[in-house]
Amino acid sequence: MKLEILAGALRDYLGTTRKHTIKNIVGIFDEKGTNPSFGEDAAIIDNGEYALLLAADGIWDKLMRVDPEWSGYCSVLVNVHDIAAMGGRPLGMVDVFSSNSDEITQRVLKGMKAGIDKFGVPIVGGHVHPDTPYAALDVAILGIAKKDTVIYSSTAKPGDDVVLAIDMDGRVHPSCDLNWDTTFLKDASIVRQQVGSMVELAERKMLTAGKDVSNPGIIGTLGMLLEVSGVGADVDMSAMPKPESLEWEHWLKMYPGMGFIVTCKPENTEQVLDIYRNHKLNATKVGKIVSAPRLDLVKGKERATVFDFTKHEITGLGPARGRWCNNH
Amino acid sequence: MKLEILAGALRDYLGTTRKHTIKNIVGIFDEKGTNPSFGEDAAIIDNGEYALLLAADGIWDKLMRVDPEWSGYCSVLVNVHDIAAMGGRPLGMVDVFSSNSDEITQRVLKGMKAGIDKFGVPIVGGHVHPDTPYAALDVAILGIAKKDTVIYSSTAKPGDDVVLAIDMDGRVHPSCDLNWDTTFLKDASIVRQQVGSMVELAERKMLTAGKDVSNPGIIGTLGMLLEVSGVGADVDMSAMPKPESLEWEHWLKMYPGMGFIVTCKPENTEQVLDIYRNHKLNATKVGKIVSAPRLDLVKGKERATVFDFTKHEITGLGPARGRWCNNH
Is A47 near chain B, with CB under 8 Å?
yes
**A133 neighbourhood in chain B, CB within 8 Å:** 61, 134
Shortest Cα distance, chain B CAs vs residue A156, angstroms: 21
Cβ atoms of A163 and A273 within 8 Å: the answer is yes
Distance of CA B315 to the CA centre of its chain: 14
**B43 neighbourhood in chain A, CB within 8 Å:** 92, 94, 124-125
CB atoms B54 and A328 under 8 Å: no
Closest CA to B211 of B19, B32, B72: B19
**B47 neighbourhood in chain A, CB within 8 Å:** 91, 144
CB atoms B58 and A134 under 8 Å: no
CA B169/CA B181 separation, integer angstroms: 9
Which among B29, B50, B212 is the top mutation candidate for probing chain A, defined by the most A β-carbons within 10 Å of its own β-carbon?
Answer: B29
**A142 neighbourhood in chain B, CB within 8 Å:** 45, 52, 54, 142
CB atoms A57 and B140 under 8 Å: no
Assign domain A3-22+152-308 to a CATH class: alpha beta
Q: Is pLDDT at B24 greater than 80 in this prediction?
A: no
**B24 neighbourhood in chain A, CB within 8 Å:** 105
From A10-14, B95-99, B165-169, B265-269, the region with the lowest mean pLDDT:
A10-14
**A134 neighbourhood in chain B, CB within 8 Å:** 61, 133-134, 136
CB atoms B56 and A24 under 8 Å: no
From A73-82, A86-95, B4-13, B317-326, the region with the lowest mean pLDDT:
B317-326
Sorting pLDDT into bands at 50, 70 and 90, what band is B36? very low
CA A79/CA A57 separation, integer angstroms: 6
* B positions 2-41 inside 8 Å of A (CB): 18, 20-22, 24-25, 28-29, 34-38, 40
pLDDT score recorded for residue A33: 34
CA B146/CA B89 separation, integer angstroms: 10
**A29 neighbourhood in chain B, CB within 8 Å:** 112-113, 116, 122-123
From A9-13, A198-202, B141-145, B147-151, the region with the lowest mean pLDDT:
A9-13
User: What's domain B41-147's superfamily in CATH?
Assistant: PurM-like, N-terminal domain (3.30.1330.10)
CB atoms B131 and A38 under 8 Å: no
CA B10/CA B3 separation, integer angstroms: 10
Q: Is pLDDT at B203 greater than 70 in this prediction?
A: yes
CB atoms A56 and B131 under 8 Å: no
Using CA atoms, how far residue B21 sits from A116, B18, B24, B56, B225, in Å, is 20, 7, 6, 16, 17
pLDDT score recorded for residue B135: 83
Q: Is pLDDT at B35 greater than 80 in this prediction?
A: no
Angle value at C-alpha A304, between A302 and A310, nearest 5 degrees: 145
Cβ atoms of B185 and B303 within 8 Å: the answer is no
Listed in sequence order, the DSSP H helices in chain B are 3-11, 14-17, 21-29, 61-66, 68-85, 102-119, 188-203, 217-229, 248-252, 269-278
Sorting pLDDT into bands at 50, 70 and 90, what band is B316? low
B1 three-state secondary structure: coil
Quick count: other Cβ atoms within 10 Å of Cβ A197? 24
Which among A20, A23, A24, A25 is the top mutation candidate for probing chain B, defined by the most B β-carbons within 10 Å of its own β-carbon?
Answer: A25
| Digitized pLDDT (tens) for each residue of chain A, 328 residues in all | 799 999 999 988 854 555 555 555 555 565 433 344 566 788 899 888 899 999 988 887 778 888 999 999 999 999 999 999 999 999 999 988 888 888 988 999 999 999 999 999 999 887 777 777 888 888 999 999 999 999 999 999 999 999 999 999 999 999 899 999 999 999 999 999 999 999 999 999 999 999 999 888 999 999 999 999 999 999 999 999 999 999 999 999 999 999 999 999 999 999 999 999 999 999 999 999 999 999 999 999 999 999 999 887 777 655 543 333 222 2
Distance of CA B226 to the CA centre of its chain: 14
CA A313/CA A300 separation, integer angstroms: 27
CB atoms A96 and B142 under 8 Å: no
Task: Parse chain A into domains and list their residue ranges.
Answer: 3-22+152-308, 41-147
From A105-109, B16-20, B194-198, B250-254, the region with the lowest mean pLDDT:
B16-20
Q: CA of A140: which chain B residue's CA is closest? A: B140
The residue ranking higher by pLDDT, B70 or B33, is B70
CA B88/CA B102 separation, integer angstroms: 35
* A positions 65-104 inside 8 Å of B (CB): 89, 91-92, 94-98
pLDDT score recorded for residue A26: 57
Q: CA of B23: which chain A residue's CA is closest? A: A128
Closest CA to B220 of B144, B307, B154: B307
CB atoms B134 and A134 under 8 Å: yes
**B80 neighbourhood in chain A, CB within 8 Å:** none
Is B122 near chain A, with CB under 8 Å?
yes
What is the CB-side half-sphere exposure of residue B126 using CA atoms within 13 A? Answer: 29
A315 three-state secondary structure: coil
Shortest Cα distance, chain B CAs vs residue A258, angstroms: 20
pLDDT score recorded for residue B58: 83
CB atoms B123 and A34 under 8 Å: yes
DSSP secondary-structure letter at A100? S
pLDDT score recorded for residue B31: 43
pLDDT score recorded for residue A47: 86
Is A322 near chain B, with CB under 8 Å?
no
Kindly report, residue by residue over A229-270, the tens digit of the pLDDT.
Answer: 999 999 999 999 999 999 999 999 999 999 999 999 999 999
Closest CA to B234 of B303, B139, B172, B136: B303
CB atoms B325 and A122 under 8 Å: yes
Shortest Cα distance, chain A CAs vs residue B297, angstroms: 28
CB atoms A55 and B94 under 8 Å: yes
Distance of CA B52 to the CA centre of its chain: 18
CB atoms A98 and B133 under 8 Å: no
Query: Would the ipTM clear 0.90, i.e. be above it?
Result: no
* B positions 281-320 inside 8 Å of A (CB): none
Query: What is the number of CB-based contacts under 8 A between chain A and chain B?
Result: 203
